[in-house]
Amino acid sequence: MERTLAIIKPDAVERNLTGEILRRIEEEGLKIVALKMVRISKREAEGFYDVHRERPFFDSLTDYMSSGPIVVAVLQGEGAIERWRNLMGATDPAKANPDTIRGTFGLSIEKNSVHGSDSPQSAAYEIPYFFSHLELVNP
């Protein structure tokens, strides 16, 4: 069983889309094995997105991710990373399939409603950034 991190970003939380996004995750057959709402600081966002530190969008991204509450979850299932990424859709909502979360709810490349780990290595870094082993349920 594979695990991945999912984040419902500030734009989606603010627009009350959390329940609908979680419904879609469960409908896809992914198990939610950890879930919480948090508000991260700019510094915490910078730590999480450290891999993008040299990119031109780093400051804007970390400002945005610390601008309001987010919902973080750990999803589990066969091929969880790929399945969650397919459900999210392309990073740019204008290029995402309309049936995906980003295609349906995304406002822009930055405010695209959700984040997901892109590899087993990033999931191994991202999951413990938000969750201790005690918070992960083994279904």
Return the active site residues. Answer: 115
Contact at 8 Å (CB) between 88 and 102? yes
Q: Tokens representing 68?
A: 């309001």
CA pair distance 90, 71, nearest whole angstrom: 20
Q: Tokens representing 63?
A: 């400002």
Contact at 8 Å (CB) between 133 and 116? no
Contact at 8 Å (CB) between 79 and 58? no
